[in-house]
């Protein structure tokens, strides 16, 4: 993580020692680097600008990775749009300043209210994922506006992304998208349906891909589909290629964005379409860390546990996906320090509340501050109040300054949302 490293004996994000943030805002606390977010977005922008004019592509950041409005606003200032999967994300993105012409609405379970909001705001594209959804969008769009809603059918190309079972989305049998073989017939129907302009094709085969081969296979199938659709009289002007580029959680070599862009150049550009991308994790993940403090050090048999104040409710990925996150002391270890194996666990009443098993760390003292790395994506956005634990604060760092972008939740706020009915009282 280039924005977070040891300087003068302390782990720093940009030019802020992480200990300063913990001292001011407590722990657990999420910290994000403005510079890393910008660098990651610019990497996509540059790679695509090298192969096509800037008015031929739109980068719609996948809000589900991290939907804090400060991050959406920052990326919007840099030129990003938003890929949203709920009415809540749509609301946040608009509130953060994302414009309607750079917004894509994805997701398999859109409600009527969400669809109406998308139609009324005339967003760039609604990615339709089933025939029943297509019928509903048509009905609602025809009632709402004289203009037609621009839609893409999200096709399922039956490509194995070779990623974790729970984050693959492009295989036959996954809940996402429409069987690519059934797509031509559905486009023929959509072309004549009220309220619709079926001008796009969308695909998304999964998340955390470390190999470009599945992308190449999916893109080729999409290109074949576009050509078939045009032959049957459809006007296809956009292709949404989704997201999914992996990030190095444990030192892996991530896919080269320029080579990824090369696939787009070779396979998709000959179609003469507007290209939409939906990166999320690869923009936010390595820009964030979760700071946590050691509460207790416990020995049990041959096990040494570091019991920290962050829990699986704050960062669910290890419990959900057996995901790996590096853990670093916020004080730089001495050269040649003897390493000890620790199980780093949280206070939640679940055995799955474990961040790392057998983490090799230098000797850790009680109250030590640790950083759980590469936590900017699917960290705060998936956090919950399990065990009535307040959501952690979030902080944005820029060079030598840092500001709170979401305060830590209070227990009183959680309890205040409960209502005891009169008949029970």
Could you tell me if residue 141 is inside a domain?
yes
**Residue found under tokens 């690869």:** 282
Could you tell me if residue 425 is inside a domain?
no
Spatial CB neighbours of 266, under 8 Å, sequence gap ≥ 6: none
Percent of the chain at pLDDT exceeding 70: 96
Among the candidates 250, 267, 283, a domain finishes at 283
Per the structure, the complete domain to which residue 302 belongs is given by 4-32+285-416
Element (H, E) at 118: helix 112-120
Cα separation of 273 and 55, whole Å?
11
pLDDT per residue over 70-101, tens digit each? 999 999 999 999 999 999 999 999 999 999 99
- For 155, the token pair is 């096709």
Could you tell me if residue 244 is inside a domain?
yes
Task: Give the helix ranges, DSSP H, for 131-274.
Answer: 131-144, 183-191, 213-231, 257-263
pLDDT per residue over 188-232, tens digit each? 999 999 999 999 999 999 889 999 999 999 999 999 999 999 999
CATH assignment at residue 39: 3.20.20.10
pLDDT confidence of residue 167: 42
Question: Which residues sit opposite 340 in a β-bridge?
Answer: 361
Could you tell me if residue 421 is inside a domain?
no
**Residue found under tokens 């302390």:** 10
Does residue 349 carry a catalytic annotation?
Answer: yes
- Do 253 and 131 lie in a common domain? yes
pLDDT confidence of residue 385: 97
Could you tell me if residue 69 is inside a domain?
yes
Report pTM: 0.94
pLDDT confidence of residue 175: 59
- Do 99 and 241 lie in a common domain? yes
Among the candidates 283, 307, 324, a domain finishes at 283
CATH assignment at residue 302: 2.40.37.10
- Do 218 and 305 lie in a common domain? no
Could you tell me if residue 182 is inside a domain?
yes
- Do 111 and 162 lie in a common domain? yes
**Distance (Å) of CA 224 to CA 26, 109, 231, 371:** 54, 28, 11, 46
- Do 214 and 265 lie in a common domain? yes
- Do 334 and 268 lie in a common domain? no
pLDDT confidence of residue 68: 98
Could you tell me if residue 422 is inside a domain?
no
pLDDT confidence of residue 417: 94
- Do 142 and 221 lie in a common domain? yes
- Conformational region of residue 116, where left means phi above 0, alpha means psi within -120 to 50, and beta covers everything else: alpha
- Do 219 and 84 lie in a common domain? yes
- Do 189 and 241 lie in a common domain? yes
Cα separation of 229 and 117, whole Å?
29
Peptide bond into 63 cis (omega under 30): no
Backbone angles phi, psi at 353, to 5 degrees: -80, 65
- Do 178 and 297 lie in a common domain? no
Cα separation of 262 and 258, whole Å?
6
- Do 344 and 357 lie in a common domain? yes
Among the candidates 283, 302, 334, a domain finishes at 283
Active-site residue, from 31, 63, 330, 349: 349
Spatial contact of 237 and 276, defined as CB atoms under 8 Å apart: no
**pLDDT under 70 in the chain at which residues?**
1, 160-176
Could you tell me if residue 225 is inside a domain?
yes
* Domain count of the fold of the chain: 2
- Do 109 and 144 lie in a common domain? yes
């Amino acid at each position: 993580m280039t924005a977070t490293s040891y300087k003068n004996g302390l782990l720093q994000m940009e030019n802020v020692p992480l200990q300063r943030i913990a001292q001011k805002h407590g722990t657990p606390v999420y910290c994000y680097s403005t510079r890393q977010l910008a660098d990651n977005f610019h990497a996509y922008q540059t790679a695509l600008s090298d192969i096509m004019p800037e008015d031929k592509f739109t980068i719609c950041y996948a809000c589900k990775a991290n939907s804090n409005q400060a991050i959406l606003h920052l990326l919007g200032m840099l030129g990003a749009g938003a890929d949203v999967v709920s009415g809540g994300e749509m609301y946040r993105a608009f509130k953060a300043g994302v414009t309607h012409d750079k917004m894509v609405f994805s997701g398999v379970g859109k409600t009527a209210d969400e669809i109406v909001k998308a139609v009324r705001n005339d967003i760039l594209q609604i990615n339709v994922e089933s025939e029943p959804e297509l019928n509903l969008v048509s009905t609602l769009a025809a009632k709402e506006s004289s203009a037609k809603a621009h839609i893409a059918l999200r096709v399922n190309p039956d490509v194995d992304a070779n990623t974790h079972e729970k984050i693959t989305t492009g295989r036959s049998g996954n809940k996402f998208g429409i069987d690519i073989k059934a797509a031509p017939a559905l486009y023929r129907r959509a072309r004549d349906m009220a309220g619709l302009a079926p001008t796009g094709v969308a695909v998304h085969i999964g998340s955390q891909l470390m190999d470009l081969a599945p992308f190449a296979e999916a893109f080729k199938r999409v290109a074949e589909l576009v050509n078939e659709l045009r032959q049957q009289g459809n006007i296809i002007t956009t292709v949404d290629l989704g997201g999914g580029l992996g990030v190095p959680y444990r030192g892996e070599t991530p896919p080269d964005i320029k080579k990824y862009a090369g696939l787009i150049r070779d396979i998709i550009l000959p179609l003469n379409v507007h290209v939409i991308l939906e990166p999320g994790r690869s923009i936010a993940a390595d820009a964030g860390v979760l700071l946590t403090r050691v509460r207790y050090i416990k020995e049990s048999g041959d096990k040494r546990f570091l019991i920290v104040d962050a829990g699986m409710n704050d960062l669910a990925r290890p419990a959900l996906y057996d995901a790996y996150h590096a853990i670093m002391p916020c004080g730089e270890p001495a050269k040649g320090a003897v390493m000890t194996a620790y199980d780093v666990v949280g206070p939640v009443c679940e055995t799955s509340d474990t961040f790392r098993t057998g983490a090799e760390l230098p000797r850790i003292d009680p109250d030590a501050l640790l950083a759980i790395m590469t936590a900017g994506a699917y960290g705060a956005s998936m956090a919950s109040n399990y065990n009535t634990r307040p959501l952690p604060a979030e902080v944005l760092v820029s060079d030598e300054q840092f500001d709170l972008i979401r305060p830590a939740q209070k227990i009183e706020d959680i309890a205040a949302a409960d209502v005891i009915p009169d008949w029970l009282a």
